[in-house]
């Protein structure tokens, strides 16, 4: 997840929620290492938040020689980490208009989009 101006955490599990300003600290490493981790015909299914630019993952996977495409989408309620960052994310334009009303329960639930990327080694 994007984490404000903070550098990525050194705690391994924290990379999931403190992945640098653009949220790509782990995603870029996964995309770079995927071709070596897959046998010919092998498939990587990558589920990531739309907040961390899925198009960048597609570009990196394709540049690494994999056939990559978006295979699905899902919307889920914001978890505790994103709820704490809601105002910051909204100020950066990463949450839809009207979803950054901290503490209010009226209107539509605040959600994030998850994107499933399927990448295959030829």
Please state the pTM of the whole predicted model.
0.79
Per-residue pLDDT tens digits for 68-116: 999 999 988 888 888 888 888 888 877 765 444 444 444 455 788 899 9
Q: Which of 18-32, 51-65, 70-84, 87-101 has the highest mean pLDDT?
A: 51-65
Q: According to the model, what pLDDT value does residue 39 have?
A: 97
18 vs 80 pLDDT, higher one: 80
| DSSP state string for 8-65 | PPSSGGGGGT---TTS-HHHHHHHHHHHHHS-TT-EEEEEEEGGG-HHHHHHHHHHTT
Mean pLDDT of 34-55: 95
């Amino acid at each position: 997840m994007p984490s404000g101006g903070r550098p990525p955490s050194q705690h391994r599990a924290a990379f999931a929620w403190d992945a640098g300003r653009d949220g790509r600290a782990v995603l870029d490493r996964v995309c770079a290492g995927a071709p070596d981790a897959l046998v010919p015909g092998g498939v990587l299914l990558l589920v990531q938040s739309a907040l961390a630019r899925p198009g960048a993952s597609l570009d990196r996977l394709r540049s690494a020689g994999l056939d990559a495409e978006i295979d699905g989408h899902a919307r889920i309620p914001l978890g505790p980490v994103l709820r704490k960052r809601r105002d910051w994310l909204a100020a950066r334009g990463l949450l839809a208009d009207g979803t950054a009303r901290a503490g209010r329960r009226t209107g539509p639930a605040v959600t994030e989009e998850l994107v499933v990327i399927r990448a295959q080694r030829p």
